[in-house]
Amino acid sequence: MKKPRPSLCALGALGAGLWATASTALAQEAAAASQPNTLITLSAGDTAWMLTSTLLVVLMIVPGLALFYGGLARSKNMLSVLMQVFVIFALIAVLWALYGYSLAFSGEGRFLGDFSRAFLLGIAPDTLGALMPTVPEYVFVAFQSTFAAIAVALIVGSFAERMKFAAVLVFAVLWFTFGYLPMAHMVWGGGLLAQHGALDFAGGTVVHINAGIAGLVGAYLVGPRIGYGKEAMTPHSLTLTMVGASLLWVGWFGFNAGSAGAANGVAGLAFINTLLATGAATLSWLAGEALHKGRGKASMLGAVSGAVAGLVAVTPAAGFVGPMGAIVIGLIAGPVCLWGVGGLKKLLGADDAFDVFGVHGVGGIVGALLTGVFAAPALGGTGGITPDSFAMGAQVWVQAQSVLLTMVWSALVSFISYKLADKLVGLRVLSDDERQGLDVTTHGETAYHR
């Protein structure tokens, strides 16, 4: 019998080895494929969307909110309103980076975070966020800073045309620190309300109810404008107010859809809900206005007020309810907020100059409560955080508790903050300065030259 040739033996051994190696590699790949991919990496698409959303929310504040409020003011106070909104935005952006972000989104406290992220320590360009894991944490920091800034800036509309500029800034620092940051942590930072299952997609409680109550308290403590209830205090430029409202509507897509934290289906849901609820509230406000006044006339002021009411009401619900639920929320918010700036305002007897409580406070309450209803899967909602165990009655009760806690917290912090500002610099300008207008007496400038 002949012995195999050495070359054939070597080829046989090599083939067997390659077969074994290939089999092992295929087995490893199959095993790896059967395991979930737990590695989270940066998403360029998500990052691009969040950068865009952040810019859109900036647009809401400057120039959107500034022009909206500025047009509602009398011409002699136009610049003072623009100045207050603009400087508050700058101030809160800096405070957010120094300590605000850390207290809102770090730590495990029930009411407030800790200082582990103070001065943005521990964050680098390649650090991914904990709540938005496919986006750089710096982007998340910037996005959330705009929410804090607009919450504080909204309050300006309640005490406009009579509060000292220095007092506005002192109050802004105090309320941001002790009013906004604890609410943001309780709802979004893993605190008390988050633990209880409260649903607030983009800031119904944290931003709008919080700011609305602060504005109402301010209207009481600062007092009414000279001539309030006796003189006509009509908006000096509904054109600018309409421009501002339009910028608010556009920017609100970043506010709500950006709160999804990614370019995904939830962002799309929040986007269309923001569109539909706002349109529905505009129409229902105008209908209620025409019926209430009995003249059958629709006003520009009513249209933009209804739009803002719809934007506010859909904010907590944007990513939790279906499109038809969003329309119903808008239809309800319009007439309820119309009552808020009319009958309820007269009942409360406060000079809430630009109806911050009537629109943002009342609209936020309506939206927060109805989120518990229309988040139900049976009504086209997503079922919230726990869709398998969602119960409408239980969720509405949780929502009501979150509303009540927000109202009490904001009222208490606001009262103390206004009182401290009064002790430090005084709240109100002199009567002669108020009559002449804050543009000239406070800032030495005028919005218009004749």
Mean pLDDT over 271-279 rounds to 98
pLDDT of residue 10: 41
Half-sphere exposure of 429 (CA within 13 A, CB side): 26
The answer on pLDDT for 15 being more than 60 is no
Contacts of 314 (CB under 8 A, 6+ apart): 256, 273, 274, 277, 278, 326, 329, 330, 333, 367
Three-state secondary structure call for residue 438:
helix
Mean pLDDT over 253-257 rounds to 98
pLDDT of residue 35: 44
Mean pLDDT over 18-28 rounds to 42
- Spell out the alpha helix ranges (H) of 60-191: 66-72, 78-95, 101-105, 137-154, 156-159, 165-175, 181-188
Q: What is the mean pLDDT of the chain?
A: 92
The answer on pLDDT for 33 being more than 70 is no
Which residue would you say has higher pLDDT here, 296 or 107? 107
Query: Which DSSP letter does residue 2 get?
Result: P
Which amino acid belongs to residue 263?
A
For 383-407, what is each residue's pLDDT tens digit?
Answer: 999 999 999 999 999 999 999 999 9
pLDDT of residue 21: 42
The answer on pLDDT for 32 being more than 80 is no
Measured CA to CA, the distance from residue 152 to residue 40 in angstroms comes to 35
pLDDT of residue 294: 62
Mean pLDDT over 253-274 rounds to 98
For 240-252, what is each residue's pLDDT tens digit?
Answer: 999 999 999 999 9
Contacts of 442 (CB under 8 A, 6+ apart): 80, 164, 165, 429, 433
Which residue would you say has higher pLDDT here, 290 or 281? 281
pLDDT of residue 222: 98
How large a percentage of the chain has pLDDT more than 70? 90
pLDDT band at 194 (very low <50, low <70, confident <90, very high): very high
Measured CA to CA, the distance from residue 242 to residue 329 in angstroms comes to 23
Query: Which DSSP letter does residue 128 get?
Result: B
pLDDT of residue 295: 64
The answer on pLDDT for 16 being more than 60 is no
pLDDT band at 298 (very low <50, low <70, confident <90, very high): confident
pLDDT of residue 196: 96
pLDDT of residue 38: 53
pLDDT of residue 1: 40
pLDDT of residue 342: 94
Here the tokens at position 123 are: 């964050």
pLDDT of residue 36: 44
Give the least confident one: 31-35, 113-117, 423-427.
31-35
pLDDT of residue 297: 81
Measured CA to CA, the distance from residue 141 to residue 139 in angstroms comes to 5
Question: CB-based burial of residue 186 (10 Å sphere; 0-12 exposed, 13-18 middle, 19+ buried)?
Answer: buried
* Maximum pairwise Cα distance, the chain: 124
pLDDT of residue 14: 37
pLDDT band at 6 (very low <50, low <70, confident <90, very high): very low
Domains of the chain (ranges; CATH) run 44-443 (1.10.3430.10)
The answer on pLDDT for 13 being more than 50 is no
pLDDT of residue 293: 66
What own/partner pairs with CB < 8 Å and gap ≥ 24 does 39-43 have?
40/128, 40/133, 40/134, 41/134, 42/126, 42/128, 42/134, 42/135, 42/136, 43/134, 43/135, 43/262, 43/263
Mean pLDDT over 3-30 rounds to 41
The answer on pLDDT for 317 being more than 90 is yes
Which amino acid belongs to residue 119?
F
Mean pLDDT over 326-354 rounds to 97
Mean pLDDT over 166-186 rounds to 98
Mean pLDDT over 51-61 rounds to 98
pLDDT of residue 410: 98
Three-state secondary structure call for residue 163:
strand
Contact present, 380 and 325 (Cβ < 8 Å)? yes
pLDDT band at 23 (very low <50, low <70, confident <90, very high): very low
